[in-house]
């Protein structure tokens, strides 16, 4: 099922590029899924890692995910899909609210996604400088607020033994990027 999810996401994201580069977009969901798999999470969550942006950023609908991958994976993807009809601020506040109260698997997916985005941003800042902020819907200070809010709320409701090591990697990346 993981290979099916990977191929589905690759087809859905075909032709899309990562922000600030010519890198194919699919590299991002692949890294998210690989991080989830490396942390030892179950196949359904890894599949959701591959699929986490297809509803938000392509013509694929949640019903397509449910039909192809089942209700459980569709639920995880849905919980992490932003409503693009809302403002940037509303969408990000919704994610912050979700991270406080969500089931652990949703938290694991959100943080894996945000970590990969932040590591990419960090590399772009090193290579291209502060001009990268011009390609975002919100500038440095709003991005700082958003990422710090995720970092400060991601542990809510988790026991120490349930926290994957990449949560700390995210915290460190937030500090480096927004120092």
Q: Residue 149: its pLDDT value, please?
A: 97
Q: At what angle do helices 104-128 and 166-177 cross, to 10 degrees?
A: 40
Element (H, E) at 115: helix 104-128
Q: Residue 84: its pLDDT value, please?
A: 86
**Cα dihedral sign for 21, 23, 29, 33?**
negative
At 36-45, the pLDDT tens digits run: 999 999 999 9
Map out the domains of the chain as residue ranges.
Answer: 2-177
Q: Full-prediction pTM beyond 0.75?
A: yes
Catalytic residue at 162? no
Kindly list the distances between the CA atom of residue 135 and the CA atoms of 121, 125, 128, in Å, as whole numbers in the listed order: 11, 12, 12
> pLDDT over 70 for what percent of the chain?
100
Q: Which of 57, 64, 66, 122 is catalytic?
A: 57
CB atoms within 10 A of CB 84: 10
What CATH number matches the domain at 2-177, 1.10.3210.10, 3.40.190.10, 1.10.3720.10, 2.60.40.1930? 1.10.3210.10
- Where is pLDDT greater, at 108 or 82? 108
Average pLDDT score over the chain: 94
pLDDT band at 139 (very low <50, low <70, confident <90, very high): confident
Catalytic residue at 56? yes
At 89-137, the pLDDT tens digits run: 999 999 999 999 999 999 999 999 999 999 999 999 999 898 888 888 7
Q: Which of 22, 34, 44, 56 is catalytic?
A: 56
Q: Residue 162: its pLDDT value, please?
A: 95
Kindly list the distances between the CA atom of residue 72 and the CA atoms of 47, 78, 86, 103, in Å, as whole numbers in the listed order: 10, 10, 25, 13
Q: Which two tokens stand for residue 21?
A: 């580069």
């Amino acid at each position: 099922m993981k290979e099916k999810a990977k191929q589905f996401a690759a087809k859905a994201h075909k032709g899309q590029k990562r922000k600030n580069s010519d890198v194919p977009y699919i590299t991002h969901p692949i890294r998210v899924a690989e991080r989830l798999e490396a942390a030892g999470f179950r196949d359904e969550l890894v599949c959701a890692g591959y699929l986490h942006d297809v509803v938000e950023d392509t013509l694929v609908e949640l019903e397509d995910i449910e039909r192809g991958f089942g209700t459980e994976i569709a639920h995880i993807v849905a919980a992490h899909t932003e409503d693009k009809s809302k403002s940037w601020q509303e969408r990000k506040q919704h994610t912050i609210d979700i991270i406080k109260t969500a089931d652990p698997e949703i938290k694991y997916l959100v943080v894996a996604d945000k970590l990969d985005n932040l590591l990419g941003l960090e590399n772009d800042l090193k290579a291209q400088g502060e001009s990268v902020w011009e390609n975002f819907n919100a500038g440095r200070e709003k991005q700082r607020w958003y990422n710090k809010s995720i970092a400060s709320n991601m542990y809510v409701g988790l026991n120490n033994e349930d926290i994957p090591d990449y949560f700390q990697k995210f915290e460190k990346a937030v500090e480096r990027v927004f120092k």
